[in-house]
Chains A and B, each alone.
Chain A
Amino acid sequence: MQIAALVGALTVAACGGRGDSARDATTTTRGPGSVTLSAGPVTVERTAAAGEADPADVEALLAAGAAYVRAASLDPMAGRGASLRNLVTPEAASRTTGPGAEALTDAGLGRIEDVRVTAAPAPITILTDANGAAVLGAVTIDVTISGDAAKGPVTVRRIGELAFTRVGATWLLDSWRLSVTRDGRGIPTGAPPSTTTEAP
């Protein structure tokens, strides 16, 4: 079931032009809205005899995971809304609000300057159908975002799994299991607490 994780990671790095990122312990990026995920071990779960990890699928899943981090954390930290509307399946859309939303996004944290994102390599699991095509994928993230709020430094660490389903040529977020820790003097009063969420 396990494919060669390192080969997968390096393949992704090559395809994605990330250079050494896949071999580094973490990927660190700076700048507004900037986040990069590199692949950790890649596992393919096959519903039929054949099926390998297509580097393009791995790349797309990493991009989908990064898009989530951008929309959930970096956009609100830049003063924009945390909108996941275009990133989730219709089935999951109703779960992006209400209970658990505080772990899903960093809306309410306020504006953060000098943002730095550190991401551990993201293990990926891909499910292939009878034709060997990837139909579902799970990305495990460990992302730490630090920066400066008005009242001091802020650090947000989000760990967990994101599950994506392929809808046409797009990978959309369908379920998640996330835990978030928010620390620092800059955390505003009344901001979302450290919490966890899972859907379903």
Chain B
Amino acid sequence: MVRRRRLVGALLAAPLVLALALGGLVTWWLRAGTLPLASGATWMTVQKTATADATPRPGAPVFLLAVGTDARTGETVARGDAIHVIGVNPTTGQGTILDIPRDTGAAIPGRGTDKINAAMSAGGADLLARTVSNLVGVPISYVITTDFDGFIGMVDGLGGVTVNVTRRSVDSFSGANFEVGPVRMNGTQALAFNRNRHSFPTGDLQRSENQGYFILQALAQLRAQDPGPGATLALLGNLGRHARLVNLGWADAYRLGRLGLSLDPANVENVLIPVGSGVGSRLQVQPSAGALFADFRDDAILQSR
């Protein structure tokens, strides 16, 4: 059970976090006439990093880190098991999601080399952000973190996400049981889809990529609601009850939401970073990642692909 919950929290966190960051969730809820706001449960933490540029260059790409931890109710120390760097180009509305498998070996500042997911438990979101920033070579301005419990509330609040399942998946570990084709997933199903790795030859790699795909599916649906500034304020009102803001005010949060909404999912590439076998159970970042990261860091767009 512990294993199952950990996987669920880790794998589902990022898509939900981004879904909220994109700002259409509340609009969706409002239109559906249901507002699951009574619990006041914390779904996520949105943190502006210490390295975030206070006066960013106009039009400069913005990089944020979406993290799903394996924290369970009451736990304060957790690993970052779902890790996605999201680059947004505010000028073009394009972007890229880099999916980083949790077992990727990385230099963790002050901790030596370890699996990248250990950075979160060792030093929280700040250390994970620095680790990812060093690995990819981009400045992480925001970290959005969620956990198992937060994810459940978000998915169900969203009213489901339609996913095109491309491989029949029956997995007792995750609970995945999907036929090929479009599936409107509720929270539980979405959890299973995002945590399932046993149905794929490449295991966790495919799972990480599936998470990125799920993010894009959610984004596409949210953007279809076409929320404007007023609807973004509705989102923030909801976030205020379900999110913890660290080092940022409401104007920052508003701009972050609008930034997310400026991103057209059709113009976002979802890319698994190239990794291969490494030391022990660690995955090693492949040499080809250097060119990928360089392409990513200048404008958040992958021209080379």
Q: Which residues of A line the B interface, CB within 8 A?
A: 1, 43, 45-48, 89-91, 94-95, 123, 125-130, 135-138, 140, 160-163, 165, 174-177, 198, 200
Contact = CB atoms under 8 A, between A and B. Distances in A.
B237 A1 contact: yes
Main SS class of interface, A: strand
A125 to B, nearest CB: 4
B243 to A, nearest CB: 9
Interface stretch (B201-209, B251-259, B277-285): B251-259
Interface of B: 30, 35, 55, 58-59, 90, 228-230, 232-234, 236-241, 249-251, 254-255, 258-259, 261-262
B233 A130 contact: no
Pairs A-B, 8 closest by C-beta atoms: A47-B240, A45-B237, A94-B58, A163-B229, A125-B230, A138-B230, A138-B229, A165-B251
A163 B240 contact: no
A54 B90 CA distance: 34
**Most A CB within 10 A of own CB, among B233, B238, B239:** B233
A97 B254 CA distance: 22
B45 to A, nearest CB: 15
Contacts of B233: 45, 125-127, 136-138, 163
Nearest to B262: A200
A47 B239 contact: yes
A51 to B, nearest CB: 9
A123 B230 contact: yes
A129 B250 contact: yes
A6 to B, nearest CB: 18
Given A162-B229, A177-B228, A136 B240 contact: no
A46 B233 CA distance: 9
B258 A45 contact: no
A79 B50 CA distance: 46
Contacts of A129: 240, 250
Contacts of B250: 47, 127, 129, 135-136, 165
A161 B234 contact: no
A136 B239 contact: no
Given A45-B233, A47-B240, A200-B259, A136 B254 contact: yes
A125 B231 CA distance: 8
Contacts of B254: 127, 136, 163, 165, 174-175
13 contacts: A1-B35, A43-B234, A46-B240, A48-B241, A125-B230, A126-B233, A135-B249, A138-B232, A161-B228, A161-B229, A163-B233, A174-B255, A177-B228
Contacts of A90: 55
A107 to B, nearest CB: 20
A151 B292 CA distance: 57
A94 B236 CA distance: 24
B234 A136 contact: no
A127 B261 CA distance: 18
A56 B250 CA distance: 20
Given A47-B240, A200-B90, A135 B251 contact: yes
Contacts of A91: 255
Nearest to B260: A200
Contacts of A43: 230, 234
Given A46-B240, A198-B262, 17 more contacts: A45-B238, A46-B241, A47-B236, A47-B237, A126-B233, A127-B250, A136-B233, A136-B236, A136-B254, A138-B228, A138-B229, A138-B230, A138-B233, A163-B230, A163-B254, A176-B229, A200-B255
A45 B236 contact: yes
Nearest to A172: B251
B181 to A, nearest CB: 35
Nearest to A90: B55
B248 to A, nearest CB: 12
Contact of A136 (B35, B251, B262): B251
Contacts of B55: 90
Nearest to B26: A45
A135 B240 CA distance: 12
A35 to B, nearest CB: 20
Contacts of B240: 46-48, 129-130
A51 B70 CA distance: 35
Contacts of B241: 46-48
Contact of B236 (A1, A127, A160, A175): A127
Nearest to B258: A200
A177 B240 CA distance: 24
**Most B CB within 10 A of own CB, among A89, A126, A135:** A135
